Amino acid sequence: MASNITNATSYNNLTPAQPLDKATLNKMVWRSLNLQGSFNYERMQAAGWLYGILPGLEKIHADNEEDLKISMAHNLEFFNTHPFLVTFVMGIVLSLEQQKADINTIRAVRVAAMGPLGGIGDAIFWFTLVPIAAGICSNMAINGSFAGPILFLIIFNAVQFAVRFWLMGWSYKLGTQAIELLTANAKEFTRAASMLGVFIVGALTSNYGGTTVALEIANGDAPINIQSILDGVLPKLIPLGLTLMLYFLMKKKGWTPIKCIVLLLVIGIVGAFIGLF
Amino acid sequence: MSFNAIQIILVAIVAFIVAIDQFNLLESLYQPIVTGAVVGAILGDLHTGLVVGGTYQLMTIGNMPVGGAQPPNAVIGGIMATVFAVASGLDTTAAVGLAVPFALVGQYMVTLLFTAMSPMMSWADKCAEKGDTKGIVTLNYCAMAILGAAFAIVCVAGLIGGEALGTSFANAAATPVVAKIMAGLSAAGGMMRFVGFAVLLRIMLSNDLWGIYFAGFALATVIGYIPELGGSALILIAFVGIAVALYDFQTRCAIKANAGSAAGGDEDGI
Domain spans, chain A:
2-200, 213-273
**Whether residue A58 has pLDDT greater than 90:** yes
Greater pLDDT, B171 or A26:
A26
Distance from CA of B227 to the nearest CA of A (A): 12
The predicted model gives B252-270 an average pLDDT of 65
User: In this complex, is the C-beta atom of A26 within 8 Å of any C-beta atom belonging to chain B?
Assistant: no
The predicted model gives B24-47 an average pLDDT of 93
Output the pLDDT for position A148. 93
- Residue from the list A2, A72, A242 with its beta carbon closest to the beta carbon of B131: A72
Q: Are the beta carbons of B215 and A199 separated by less than 8 Å?
A: yes
Contacts of A203 in chain B (CB under 8 A): 216-217, 219-220, 233-234, 237, 241
Place B261 in a pLDDT band, splitting at 50, 70 and 90. low
Cβ density class A235-249: b for 16+ within 10 Å, e for less = bbbbbbebbbebbeb
Q: Are the beta carbons of A135 and B61 separated by less than 8 Å?
A: yes
**Whether residue B65 has pLDDT greater than 80:** no
Distances (CA, A) of B120 to A268, B126, B140: 19, 10, 10
Q: How many Å apart are CA B81 and CA B94, to the nearest integer?
A: 8
Contacts of B30 in chain A (CB under 8 A): none
Best CA proximity match to B53, nearest among A154, A156, A133, A144:
A144
**Whether residue A8 has pLDDT greater than 50:** yes
Output the pLDDT for position B71. 52
**Whether residue A38 has pLDDT greater than 90:** yes
DSSP A7: S
- Closest chain A CA to residue B208: A195
Q: How many Å apart are CA B64 and CA A123, to the nearest integer?
A: 12
Q: Are the beta carbons of B245 and A192 separated by less than 8 Å?
A: yes
- Closest chain A CA to residue B241: A196
Output the pLDDT for position A242. 95
Q: How remote is the C-alpha of A43 from its chain's centroid?
A: 8
Q: Are the beta carbons of B37 and A39 separated by less than 8 Å?
A: no
* Contacts with B, A 163-182, CB within 8 Å: none
Total-model pTM: 0.85
Output the pLDDT for position B266. 47
Domain spans, chain B:
5-194, 205-264
The predicted model gives A110-132 an average pLDDT of 82
Q: What percent of chain B has pLDDT over 90?
A: 45
Place B37 in a pLDDT band, splitting at 50, 70 and 90. very high
Place B66 in a pLDDT band, splitting at 50, 70 and 90. very low
Written in H, E and C, the secondary structure of B83-137 is: HHHHHHCCCHHHHHHHHHHHHHHHHHHHHHHHHHCCCCHHHHHHHHHHCCHHHHH
Q: How many Å apart are CA A172 and CA A15, to the nearest integer?
A: 18
Output the pLDDT for position B267. 47
Q: Are the beta carbons of A153 and B197 separated by less than 8 Å?
A: no
**Whether residue B270 has pLDDT greater than 70:** no
**Whether residue B248 has pLDDT greater than 70:** yes
Among A82-86, A110-114, B126-130, B222-226, the range scoring the smallest mean pLDDT is: A110-114
User: In this complex, is the C-beta atom of A261 within 8 Å of any C-beta atom belonging to chain B?
Assistant: yes
Place A41 in a pLDDT band, splitting at 50, 70 and 90. confident
* Span A208-264, pLDDT tens digits: 888 888 888 888 788 888 898 899 889 999 999 999 999 999 999 999 888 898 899
Q: Are the beta carbons of B234 and A203 separated by less than 8 Å?
A: yes
User: In this complex, is the C-beta atom of A214 within 8 Å of any C-beta atom belonging to chain B?
Assistant: no
- Closest chain B CA to residue A74: B128
User: In this complex, is the C-beta atom of A275 within 8 Å of any C-beta atom belonging to chain B?
Assistant: no
**Whether residue B62 has pLDDT greater than 60:** no
Output the pLDDT for position B176. 84
Q: Are the beta carbons of A267 and B191 separated by less than 8 Å?
A: yes
User: In this complex, is the C-beta atom of A127 within 8 Å of any C-beta atom belonging to chain B?
Assistant: yes
The predicted model gives B14-21 an average pLDDT of 96
DSSP B68: G
Find out whether A105 and A143 touch, Cβ atoms under 8 Å. no
Find out whether A141 and B36 touch, Cβ atoms under 8 Å. yes
User: In this complex, is the C-beta atom of A4 within 8 Å of any C-beta atom belonging to chain B?
Assistant: no
* Span A137-196, pLDDT tens digits: 988 998 999 999 999 999 999 999 999 999 999 999 998 888 777 777 878 888 888 898
What's the burial of B266, exposed, middle or buried (CB within 10 Å: 0-12/13-18/19+)?
A: exposed
Backbone angles phi, psi at A40, to 5 degrees: -150, 165
ipTM of the complex: 0.85
Place A3 in a pLDDT band, splitting at 50, 70 and 90. low
